[in-house]
Amino acid sequence: MTERRRFLRFQTALNALCDIFSDKCKAPVKNISKEGALLVLDKRLKEGTELSLSMDVPGDNVPIFASCEVAWQNGPLHDDTYETGVRFIKIDNSDKGRLLEYIYLQWLRLIDKT
């Protein structure tokens, strides 16, 4: 299988609130990169489905908001959840800066362990 990712993904323990067609649900974020994230959802979605995401970043009081679209989905898994890859399609510049800062700190922790 060919790797298609252009950016490194970092394991994370972020929590997010998803808004899909005005239906809100909690969504743990398993990993994140500059252009997307891997969410765990309890809903089956079609590729291209748009959703709004509000991510809580540790140590920051203000969530990061992003509009996303589903790039792919696997599942259902053993607990009836779906691994859902999303691509960020719209994110405010200040939120993107805060997200990149969080990713950078994750990267520093990763290279510190090596």
Question: What does pTM read for this prediction?
Answer: 0.83
How does pLDDT run across 7-34, given as a tens digit for each residue? 667 777 788 999 998 899 999 999 988 8
Amino acid (one-letter) located at 110 = L
CA torsion, ordered 10, 12, 16, 21, to nearest 10 deg: 40
How does pLDDT run across 20-73, given as a tens digit for each residue? 988 999 999 999 888 899 999 999 999 999 999 999 988 888 999 999 999 999
Q: 83 pairs with which residues across the strands? A: 40, 74
The CA radius of gyration of the chain, in Å to the nearest whole number, is 14
Could you give the domains of the chain?
10-112 (2.40.10.220)
Collapsing DSSP states into helix, strand and coil, what is residue 23? strand
DSSP 31-91: EE-SSEEEEEESS---TT-EEEEEEEPTT-SS-EEEEEEEEEEE---TTS-EEEEEEEEEE
Cis check for the bond before 58: say yes or no (omega within 30 of 0).
Answer: no
* Main-chain phi, psi angles of 67, to 5 degrees: -95, 135
